[in-house]
Copies of this chain bind each other. A is one copy, B any other.
Amino acid sequence: MGSLHTDVLENNSVCALNPLDPEEFRRQGHMIIDFLADYYRDIEKYPVRSQVEPGYLRKRLPDTAPYNPEPIETIMQDVQKEIIPGLTHWQSPNYYAYFPSSGSVAGFLGEMLSTGFNVVGFNWMSSPAATELESIVMDWLGKMLKLPTSFLFSGNGGGVLQGTTCEAILCTLTAARDRMLNRIGRENIGKLVVYGSDQTHCALQKAAQIAGIFPNNFRPVATSKATSFGLAPESLQSAIQADIEAGLIPLFLCATVGTTSSTAVDPIAPLCAVAKEYGVWVHIDAAYAGSASICPEFRHFIDGVEDADSFSFNAHKWFFTTLDCCCLWVKDPSALVKALSTSPEYLRNKATESKQVIDYKDWQIALSRRFRAMKLWMVLRSYGVANLRNFLRTHVKMAKHFEEKVTMDKRFEIVVPRNFAMVCFRLLPPPVKDHEDETLRQSSELERANEINRKLLESINSTGRIYMTHAVVGGVYMIRFAVGASLTEDRHVNLAWKVVQEHAEAILKAC
């Protein structure tokens, strides 16, 4: 039993129920819904950050797949006993790490429906509703963000759902690369330069690597505290100028609205002005903060987007749509299609030939694609613009509340200004007694501060009560408190601050 090598009596020993039997689907489906509803109800009892050690699961699971079927009840016991301890609970209200993934009932239901229909929507023909709903919701969302018409289908641009920002950047970079190389010749690939800042998400570097941009031609332009770690247009201009003088060709700029380290915002309008001068494709990566622009009071952060070539944000980050769902708009879809299309005979069909339809396979890396529009549509309709704004504002308000608490406690400082729902703070180390050389003192003080905050964060996270992560900007180690988990309420934020204070006290005492 259970061995891979027991082939005897194979055809007799197993039950032949159809794998998609509707009544079995119903029975087991209801069971999992209750399991997950209970999980959300009880989620606070689990340590937020998993407490397991590397290799924990291999010790607990068998070496081979079972030979005979196992009942769902047994499997679900193992989910509870073996899997849940190894999960970090991203849906916990006490989760403030990285950027939270804001799950929702509507997002979950949409994913259920698209998984249930299980269509493979590579082109229009393969399941028209998948393509058409995607174009429609991308226009809806574009209007909510007040994107210029040139990014909407009505303005000859258009939107597409990608898995992640990495894919969105790789696709637009490839489009920009081929548009340029088709003009100047393939042999010049080694001259193309890609720009970001030292705060840009590593997705850009990865995309550049994959697209064959020479590693030396990836240009992370330095930022500083003076510009709140936003990319200064003059710095971009100098970098581009230097590259041109060196015989290189500026290709692509990725500007960020809401960087991962500190939610810094690159000034889009002036950066686009510089880029335009040199014919550089500008992509705006608003992975985290883009959604906030549906609120009038945050829209200004993407002012200037009308001069960019492409814009993306992750609905799976802070827009209640489960992983994965990156919304990408481009002004010139034909640039994507030219770089990414393939037309094998087995996919030929009248609809494609009529040129009246979109075949999204030509807008992305993969050919196969899930029906992601379903979950975004469910989120937009279930909550409406009004509730979505309210949800985001509630998170910002909670972050602000936390920020106020930090500000009022003189043992702490806010490291960079808060723009959205993330607070970057640190504990200040107590002054040292013996005065040394001033520069040395400052540098060793920075080291001491960094060390103390590293300790503080680890001591907090290892309790499992709340979970935060860190970043380093301008040499300063800071703790990131990112509000955004859907279940978080005021009382959780108050608890979080209490936990931070308790651990800080203990650490300061030990200094």
Contact = CB atoms under 8 A, between A and B. Distances in A.
Interface string A336-347: 000110111110
Interface stretch (A53-61, A303-311, A405-413): A53-61
Contact of A88 (B26, B37, B119, B320): B119
Nearest to A387: B14
Contacts of A387: 14-16, 19, 68-69
A210 B174 contact: yes
A248 interface: no
Given A108-B115, A109-B32, A366 B167 contact: yes
Interface stretch (A238-246, A327-335, A375-383): A375-383
A133 to B, nearest CB: 6
Given A88-B127, A108-B29, A129-B86, A69 B20 contact: no
A72 B26 CA distance: 19
A215 B19 CA distance: 43
A235 to B, nearest CB: 20
A118 B187 CA distance: 44
A117 B91 contact: yes
User: DSSP class of A's interface residues: helix, strand, loop or mixed?
Assistant: helix
A378 B71 CA distance: 10
A324 B119 CA distance: 11
A500 interface: no
A385 B2 CA distance: 9
A35 B374 CA distance: 15
Interface in A453-511: 469-472, 480, 486-487, 489
A431 interface: no
Contact of A87 (B119, B167, B201, B210): B119
Given A65-B384, A127-B90, A260 B346 contact: yes
13 contacts: A19-B104, A20-B487, A22-B37, A33-B33, A57-B133, A65-B380, A65-B385, A70-B384, A72-B106, A75-B382, A101-B118, A101-B120, A163-B366
